[in-house]
Amino acid sequence: MRPGTLPRLLYGTPNRPASYAEHVATFGDLTARADLLDELGRAGLTGRGGAAFPTATKARFIRDQRGHRKFVVVNAMEGEPASHKDALLLATNPHLVLDGAESLARAVGARDVVVAVARDRTTTVEQVTRALTERPDRGIDLELQTPPGRYVAGEESALVHWLDNNESLPQYRAHRPVVLRLEKHPVLLDNCETVAHVGLIARYGADWFASVGAPGQPGSALVSVSGAVEHPTVLEVALGTPLAQILAAAKADPSPRAVLLGGYGGTWLAARDLAVAYDLRSLAERGATPGAGVVVVVGRASCGIRETQRIVAWMANESARQCGPCAFGLPAIAQDLARLRDGGGDARDARRRLEQRCGVIEGRGACRHPDGVVRMVRTALAAFAEDVADHEAGRPCAGARAGATVASVPRLEHERELVWE
């Protein structure tokens, strides 16, 4: 891999998994390096599953836990309906992910790696199975597990709890940081894309990693762009790339109404805020984060309030229904949003109640599922402020009632029964 060039994670033929031999021919042999965690720290790699926490800090925390046995869990659940990056990565360079997982395992003192793929992603399950079969034994046990494909099943405590107890339910944690445990042994859990970056940094080092990206914002990231675009697509971009350039590359509607960033628990950016670089620091100035690398474009023909309502209704349905404020609060705000969407008499009350309920729900679940919904709703009210005013005045735009919806939301009426096991 030459420095300064992209793609790196997606090098090769998209959707044709590189065999182990092809993988080694492309990337070279993986040699264990004793200083891996320092190198990850120098590289400034942050988690790509949502929270953007420094990967080296997390790994050191688990390395320093006592215990004769540890696990590494690769989170390839990808529960965001608008996210396709982890699936594409595993469909292109599965061995890069496995390399990264083995390297992390050695660095924290683990002998076991679990790759978790949602069981309804049957193609990915096959691809990972094949990669595991053809891979030579390098002293680390690699295993595929297939939890149910539900949104909260990818939340870290729910995922580990499923691996441990066959139940995809998030766990209440009174204190953070928490050490996740599998059969009582400490677990290092990282997102699939994060782990693939480790596979590259383990080979080429931190300076190579930073040979793309902006100052202080090193490296590349996978972005799933969907919505008002010619074709939904996954791009590998250098951090610091202008968001406008990402939208153009995906052939997005050239004058969007707004963009949803990060995921369905992410942040809406209004059209006026789109002149921003895609990296942690620049997005933070707009109150946003790259999250799980999701970008949903909403065009002028669509109603942002309607889109928000559809997403919240789906997210409410995905609640694990363990915590009252989440189980009752999310359906309630979905209903408020429906009133606001329809406009007229109830809309103003609905908006007021929505703001009040967001404040009440926030921070009161065992996991951050409701907090994500609240963030998304609050930023929707800000990004679509003019539309909100029109709806309150009884003048919802045409898109509120009919026409194209863009956010990909599994159809609720076709949802199978809730499966947690």
Options 140, 327, 332, 360; binder of ligand SF4; rule CB under 6 A: 327
Alpha-carbon gap, residue 97 to 197, rounded angstroms: 8
E strand intervals along 89-182: 112-117, 141-145, 181-182
**Rounded to the nearest whole angstrom, what is the least distance from the CB of residue 321 to ligand SF4 in the complex?**
5
Candidate segments 47-55, 130-138, 171-179, 237-245, binder of ligand FMN by CB under 6 A: 47-55
- The residue whose two tokens read 């997102």 is 191
The piece of 51-59, 180-188, 303-311, 365-373 that touches ligand SF4 (CB under 6 A) is 365-373
Which positions from 362 to 391 touch another protein by CB under 8 A, shown as an x/- string?
A: --xxx-------------------------
Choose which of 79, 149, 218, 262 interacts with ligand FMN (CB under 6 A). 79
Q: 267: buried, middle or exposed (CB in 10 Å: 19+, 13-18, 0-12)? A: buried
What is the distance between the alpha carbons of residues 15 and 348, in angstroms, rounded to a whole number? 48
- Using alpha carbons, list the distances in angstroms from residue 407 to 234, 261, 266, 294, 299: 15, 12, 13, 11, 11
CB of 172 to another protein, least distance (A): 5
d(CA 290, CA 225) in angstroms, rounded, equals 12
Cβ-based neighbour number of residue 177 at 10 Å: 10
396 Cβ contact partners less than 8 Å away, ≥ 6 residues apart:
303, 305, 341, 342, 343, 387, 390
Range 177-196, binding ligand FMN (CB under 6 A): 189-191, 194
Near ligand FMN in 359-378, by CB under 6 A: 367-369
Q: Which stretch binds another protein (CB under 8 A): 23-31, 228-236, 295-303, 325-333?
A: 325-333
Binding residue (CB under 8 A) for another protein from 5, 172, 251, 284: 172
Select from 166, 175, 198 the least CA-distant residue to 74: 198
Question: Rounded distance, CA 47 to CA 190, Å?
Answer: 7
Residue 48's binding partner among another protein, ligand FMN, ligand SF4, none (Cβ under 5 to 8 angstroms by kind) is ligand FMN
Return the number of the residue (147 or 227) whose C-beta is nearest ligand FMN: 147
Of 230 and 417, nearer to ligand SF4 (C-beta) is 417
Is residue 269 within 8 A of residue 263, CB to CB? The reply is: no
In DSSP terms, which residues pair with 74 in a beta bridge?
115, 190
Which residues within the stretch 328-357 sit at the binding site for another protein (CB under 8 A)?
Answer: 328-329, 332
What backbone torsions phi and psi does residue 310 show, to the nearest 5 degrees?
-60, -40
Q: What is the distance between the alpha carbons of residues 280 and 375, in angstroms, rounded to a whole number?
A: 17
Which CB sits closer to ligand SF4, 121 or 369? 369
> CB under 5 to 8 A by kind: which of ligand FMN, ligand SF4, another protein, none does 319 bind?
ligand SF4
Q: Which stretch binds ligand SF4 (CB under 6 A): 57-65, 331-339, 360-368, 404-412?
A: 360-368
Number of residues located near ligand SF4, criterion CB under 6 A: 14
Judged by DSSP in three states, 293 sits in coil
Range in contact with ligand SF4 (rule: CB under 6 A) among 75-83, 187-195, 235-243, 314-322: 314-322
Is residue 238 classed exposed, middle or buried when 0-12, 13-18 and 19+ CB atoms within 10 A define those classes?
Answer: buried
CB of 49 or CB of 262, closer to ligand FMN: 49
- With contacts defined by CB under 6 A, name the span among 10-18, 136-144, 186-194, 315-323 that binds ligand SF4: 315-323
Mutual angle of helices 192-209 and 55-63, in 10-degree steps:
110
Comparing every residue's Cβ against ligand SF4, the nearest one is 365
Do 77 and 118 meet the contact criterion of CB atoms below 8 Å apart? Answer: yes
> Smallest distance, Å, CB 331 to ligand SF4?
12
Interface with ligand SF4 by CB under 6 A: which residues? 152, 170, 319-323, 326-327, 365-367, 369-370
Interface with ligand FMN by CB under 6 A: which residues? 47-51, 53, 75, 77-79, 151-152, 154-156, 189-191, 194, 367-369
Interface with another protein by CB under 8 A: which residues? 171-172, 174, 322-326, 328-329, 332, 360, 364-366
